[in-house]
């Protein structure tokens, strides 16, 4: 059973930065596509960023391109999301997720992800 634990959330002002971290349990595989999703109150969960198993390919939703960067350290079983130039609309619960194999064209398909963390709250004030 793969377990994911997020950290790094918090409250910042618009324009600020946060770095989210996700640590995977010992049973996690470096062959997993990893992703960050977010869910704001009253809205559906949406994909934010995904990274291929080896880390060479990344995917971003248009609204965060140029501001967020996803990365991973397979030796430490860690995935990160560096968030810069934060906006109030980035306010949400952020979740780390893992799926078997590569990310592919459906990298933000919720049903493809088998393992989920409990989430970490990000609040951006104007």
* DSSP secondary structure of 26-51: TT--TTEEEEEEEE-TTS--EEEEEE
Q: What is the largest CA-CA distance in the chain?
A: 41
pLDDT in tens, 42-76: 999 999 999 999 999 999 999 999 999 999 999 99
Strands 120-125 and 10-13: parallel
Give per-residue pLDDT as tens, 76-110.
999 999 999 999 999 999 999 999 888 987 899 99
Identify the pLDDT of residue 72: 95
Q: How confident is the model at residue 27 (pLDDT cuts 50, 70, 90)?
A: low
Please tell me the predicted confidence (pLDDT) of residue 99: 92
């Amino acid at each position: 059973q793969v377990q994911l634990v997020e950290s790094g959330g918090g409250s910042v002002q618009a324009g600020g930065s946060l770095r989210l971290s996700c640590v995977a349990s010992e049973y996690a595989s470096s062959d997993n596509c990893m992703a960050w999703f977010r869910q704001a109150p009253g809205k559906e969960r949406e994909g934010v960023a995904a990274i291929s198993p080896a880390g060479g390919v990344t995917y971003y939703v248009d609204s965060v391109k140029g501001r967020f960067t996803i990365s991973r350290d397979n030796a430490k079983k860690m995935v990160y999301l560096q968030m810069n130039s934060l906006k109030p609309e980035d306010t949400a619960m952020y979740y780390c997720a893992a799926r078997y194999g590569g990310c592919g064209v459906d990298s933000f398909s919720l049903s493809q992800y088998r393992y989920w963390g409990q989430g970490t709250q990000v609040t951006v004030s104007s």
